[in-house]
Amino acid sequence: DAKTTQPNSMESNEEEPVHLPCNHSTISGTDYIHWYRQLPSQGPEYVIHGLTSNVNNRMASLAIAEDRKSSTLILHRATLRDAAVYYCILSRTSGTYKYIFGTGTRLKVLA
């Protein structure tokens, strides 16, 4: 079954770029790749999503490998408010499961 694999934790200095990797080697052709983040004591919030091409929005960029078996969330300038758990998620268009969550990466931003 499809799943995502992420490092348990990462650290970054404030104002520097952060690259958060995700492996989804069992991804299917129509699965979307989503990234959400969860700040302490809050529900997850949307960051970005894509299907095949790289995506940019005001929060981040998403780089998707050509074979789609991995992706990278890029925060261009980390701030202290970006400290959170970042989840890489597949949304499946067929089969039993709709959203497949990885265990998440806890990002620590150092001042």
Partner 1 sequence: DSGVTQTPKHLITATGQRVTLRCSPRSGDLSVYWYQQSLDQGLQFLIQYYNGEERAKGNILERFSAQQFPDLHSELNLSSLELGDSALYFCASSEEGAPSDTQYFGPGTRLTVL
Region of 16-24, 45-53, 66-74, 76-84 interacting with partner 1 (CB under 8 A)? 45-53
Per-residue tokens: 108 = 């620590």
Per-residue tokens: 81 = 């408010």
Per-residue tokens: 23 = 């492996």
Shortest distance (Å) from residue 95 CB to partner 1: 9
Cα distance between residue 74 and residue 30, in whole Å: 23
Cα distance between residue 91 and residue 100, in whole Å: 6
51 in contact with partner 1 (CB under 8 A): yes
26 in contact with partner 1 (CB under 8 A): no
46 in contact with partner 1 (CB under 8 A): yes
39 in contact with partner 1 (CB under 8 A): no
